């Protein structure tokens, strides 16, 4: 058993812990729940997807959309940022995924299943490659659906969000 030194200034003998404690104010620990930021309070992030691996890019985008890269992250509160991704057509895929990886959609009718490769998806809708990768890395709930509306993906280097002054995200 560890013994603490005795405080000689007091009339009553008591044990003093080795760390300072305020004797008049008792601190009660409370759980901090962040407030949902308003449109003006949300930050804007800019990511250049050129020559970046798709999976690693999608992880950083998903973390920024959820707010996991901030110090006030709470999984039940939407604290994420707006994310602008440019050069989506130049995102890198490793191996032979351009020809081998496929995306499938199903209409619900017999014979309504459609399959498309990444190469043809890159030609038609290069932004969907990143959108689908990010959606796969988010939890499937209402907060994530709302977070996906803050994702702005553009095939080229130009984007119309210069007025928001997006900061580059590493």
Q: Which two tokens stand for residue 14?
A: 């008591």
CATH number at residue 133: 3.90.1180.10
Residue 81 domain-assigned? yes
Quote the number of domains for the chain: 1
Neighbouring C-alpha atoms within 13 Å toward the C-beta of 168: 3
* Whole-angstrom distance, CA of residue 164 vs CA of residue 154: 16
Note down the domain range covering 143. 44-168
What pLDDT score was predicted for residue 9? 54
At 123-159, the pLDDT tens digits run: 999 999 999 999 999 999 999 999 999 999 999 999 9
What pLDDT score was predicted for residue 5? 58
Q: Which two tokens stand for residue 122?
A: 């890159």
Query: Which residues contact residue 55 at a Cβ distance below 8 angstroms, ignoring those fewer than 6 apart?
Result: 133
Residue 99 domain-assigned? yes
What pLDDT score was predicted for residue 3? 57
What does DSSP say about strands 113-117 and 102-106: parallel, antiparallel, or unpaired? antiparallel
Ranges in the chain, pLDDT < 50:
10, 12-14
Residue 26 domain-assigned? no
Residue 79 domain-assigned? yes
Residue 10 domain-assigned? no
Q: CA of 64: how far to CAs of 45, 74, 101, in Å?
A: 8, 13, 26
Element (H, E) at 84: strand 82-86
DSSP state of 40: T
The residue assigned the tokens 């601190």 is 27
Residue 108 domain-assigned? yes
What pLDDT score was predicted for residue 26? 57
Element (H, E) at 63: helix 54-66
Neighbours of 82 (CB within 10 A): 20
The residue assigned the tokens 């007025």 is 163
**Local structure of 152: helix, strand or coil:** strand
């Amino acid at each position: 058993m560890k013994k603490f030194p005795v405080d000689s200034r007091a009339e009553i003998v008591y044990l003093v812990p080795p760390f300072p404690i305020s004797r008049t104010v008792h601190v009660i620990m409370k759980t901090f729940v962040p407030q949902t930021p308003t449109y003006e309070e949300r930050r804007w992030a800019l990511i250049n997807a050129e020559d970046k691996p798709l999976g690693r890019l999608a992880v950083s985008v998903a973390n920024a959309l959820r707010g996991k890269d901030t110090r006030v992250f709470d999984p039940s509160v939407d604290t994420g940022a707006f994310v602008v991704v440019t050069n989506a057509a130049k995102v890198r895929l490793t191996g032979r995924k351009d020809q081998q990886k496929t995306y499938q959609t199903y209409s619900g009718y017999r014979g309504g299943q459609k399959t498309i490769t990444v190469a043809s998806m890159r030609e038609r809708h290069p932004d969907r490659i990143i959108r689908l990768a990010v959606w796969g890395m988010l939890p499937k709930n209402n907060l994530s659906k709302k977070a996906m509306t803050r994702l702005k993906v553009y095939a080229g280097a130009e984007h119309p969000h210069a007025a928001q002054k997006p900061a580059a995200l590493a």
